[in-house]
Structure 1
Amino acid sequence: MASITIRNLDDDLKARLRVVAASHGRSMEEEVRVILAEALSRQDKPSAMGSRIHSRFAAVGGADVELPARKTKARAADFDE
């Protein structure tokens, strides 16, 4: 297992870490490991924009949108103009 040293840690931050660790029944070192693991596990699960939009509006029931029928055939974009 690897180890790291954190220098110049603010005294107030260290005190708060000690309190949180104690409230969870952990050492400060174990609390830091848990915090890092949780923070990095959230980053491991990127979701596509569509999925994020869906999850945001799913709680309010979403939206049903009826798309009109296409009247003309799709064509390629023309960028020469």
Structure 2
Amino acid sequence: MPSVTIRKLSDETHRALKIRAARHGRSTEAEIRHILDAAVNPAPRIKLGSLLAEIGRETGGFDTEGLRDKTISEPVSFE
């Protein structure tokens, strides 16, 4: 597996990484891997239709049958 060496990292940044790693229960090296993975592999995007459908399910759904106009429409005439 490839490895990377980072030089000239400030003391403040190194200290912040150590604190962040401890907060997440990881080693500093594992925390840096996690940060880099998240930066280059962002979470998949949620599509708007999927999000709206999920909101609808959470709120009990929406009954379209009672609102739908069932009358047959006339075809369009282009004359």
Structure 2 counterparts to residues 7-26 of structure 1, below 5 A:
14-26=14-26
Q: Which runs of 5+ in 2 are unaligned?
A: none
How far apart, in 2, do the equivalents of 1:30 and 1:47 lie?
A: 28
Q: Which residue of 2 aligns with 1:64?
A: 63
Identity of aligned residues (%): 35
- Larger mean CA deviation between 30-39 and 63-72 belongs to 30-39
Amino acid at match of 2:22: A
The offset of 1:28, in angstroms, is 1.7
Pairwise CA distance, 1:60: 1.7
**1:30 CA displacement:** 0.5
TM-score of the two chains, using structure 2 as the length reference: 0.53
Query: What TM-score, normalized to structure 1?
Result: 0.52
Q: 1:72 to 1:10 in 2, by over 3 A?
A: farther
- The structure-2 alpha-carbon separation of the partners of 1:33 and 1:63, relative to structure 1 and needing over 3 Å to count, comes to same
